[in-house]
Chain A
Amino acid sequence: MIDEALVKHIAHLARLDLSSSEQAKIQKDLSSILDYIAKLNEIDVKETKPFRSAALLHNIMRADEAVSESPQTNQKIKDQFPHQEESFLKVKTIL
């Protein structure tokens, strides 16, 4: 069921450049993994609610206050920008 077109579609959704040999390998791997996962069809979950971790605990609230990091930390984060102009993050044109 995982054909070449589906692999291409998923790679596009995931924003992944894949070579044709990578595509072929992933098509094969995903097929065998999904064959294994088909095991889940043996169980009836019609009456089962999906897991939600929030349902197990209680809400943890805090005041909705802005917390600013130190200028040093801000600078260290900016130092990681691949492209920068003045203190701005530089990206390609979006539209």
Chain B
Amino acid sequence: MISKQLTISQIHQGLLNKDFSAKELAEHYLDRIQEEESKIAAFLLVSKDLALKQAEEADKKIASGEDLPLLSGVPCGIKDAILAEGLLCTAGSLILENYKAPYDATCVAKLRSQGAVILGKTNLDEFAMGSSTEHSAFKVTKNPHDLERVPGGTSGGSAAAVAADECVFSLGSDTGGSIRQPASFCGAVGLKPTYGAVSRYGLIAHASSLDQIGPLAKTVNDCEIVFKAIKGRDLKDSTSTDCEATQTANRGLNNAIIGIPKEYFGEGLEKETRDIIKRAIKKAEKAGAKIEEISLPHSEYALACYYLIVTSEASANLARFDGIRYGLSEQGNDLFDVYFKSRGNGFGAEVKRRIMLGTFALSSGYYDAYYLKAQKVRTLVRQDFNEAFKNVDFVFTPVSPFPAFKIGEKVDDPLKMYLSDVLTVPISLAGVPALSLPVGKDGRLPVGMQIIGRHFDENGIFQIAKEIEEIIL
């Protein structure tokens, strides 16, 4: 009998003790997917054959008595913007509906080399553009805590699959909150690593100066195990690095100084969410942390700055989808016609909107007033964090101003949808790491607290998050 909500360490012990085999475990999770998918719709593809084959390999390793890596036999889901060789990779878009990944993303190769079992590819907003997973061209994923609500986005499938126990952990990607916000909405633990900590090779590019791959899991410890498995410098991504934190907060809650930025608790934050976060902060204080009110003065400009940068980079990155080398290729009279029709028919409404905004911001006559200005504001946002981290070890904020919203509530109003990212995008612009930790519920709906650390101080975040996880329960 395989119990629910197993953690990675429990599975590792269970496999070593022969309580269950990796194959039984994979079958258990494939059954879970079968049971839950008609309600949740977290997966775009279930890779049953691959999962069973990988599980058998893990079982052979166990039988041979070889050292067993922690992730061996552990079933996971991979966001469908991350390439896994041999499996379709759609990025949630019609333009890549039939695209089969020719190679593994570095993070997937690293998971495979540890023996992790890939159950399938999880749903996302098309090209990771959105905040609810409603912009997927294929299906609407439901929040396991309330099926009438969104799971958040863009890694909504990854978060919902973890929350519904359809997998043990998953990989997501975060450009402006796409791991943290769905983790918060679904009650999972999600980490956006420091920019550069995890190789982006094999991640379908959205905004290259912001994109990071990271884990979603049920506990902080599981998140840490997966992060350590996928991080590190990769020759195939020149922005990846083995950097360590120059100043580490490697000390417990007891000695930590935690900054609470007043700008994150102002207008627009729902009262229940505020109360839950404030209670968590109080508990941290009781456990010995020193709490200080701080200011990140450019926070209110971060969202406007972010949407110029993210769309500008996306408009350039998505130029590769032109109907020539892969993906949808419409018939046309000439080359131009092929471009226009393939892109016109292949991209959904939100992707077109963002390509248009980004192309505008980069176009002759508007570049200085929009893109260049945004890059300058980005410098100021980053300076805010650098200044704050001179005096505090961590910054605590809500992840989202509100818990999961209703399906359909914001999908027709892009600005309203964008505003739901207001508390996560500044962190992305600064490139610092942040973890979403579930710290309470508003009715049925989970609420996550955002724990932000210095560049490359993921270890400090894990340590403090584990302590808070203990005292919140």
Contact = CB atoms under 8 A, between A and B. Distances in A.
B343 interface: yes
Contacts, number: 146
Contacts of B103: 69, 73, 76
B376 A83 contact: no
A4 interface: no
A50 B377 CA distance: 8
Contact of B323 (A25, A49, A82): A82
Contacts of A13: 359, 363
Chain B: interface size category: 35 or more
Contacts of B418: 33
Interface in A43-74: 43, 45, 48-53, 56-57, 60, 62, 69, 73
B345 A17 contact: yes
Interface in B351-405: 352-353, 355-357, 359-360, 363, 370, 372-380, 382
Interface in B233-266: 233, 235, 238-239, 241, 243
B415 A40 contact: no
5 contacts: A11-B356, A32-B415, A33-B357, A42-B301, A57-B243
B356 A48 contact: no
Contact of B301 (A40, A56, A81): A40
B185 interface: no
What DSSP secondary structure best describes chain A's contact surface?
A: loop
Interface in B296-328: 298, 300-301, 304-305, 307-308, 315, 319, 322-328
Contacts of A57: 196, 241, 243
A79 B102 contact: yes
A17 B325 contact: no
B344 interface: yes
Interface residues of A, number: 49
Given A14-B315, A76-B100, A80-B99, A62 B307 contact: no
B372 A50 contact: yes
B352 A53 contact: no
Interface stretch (B36-44, B329-337, B446-454): B329-337
Contacts of A53: 195, 209, 239, 431
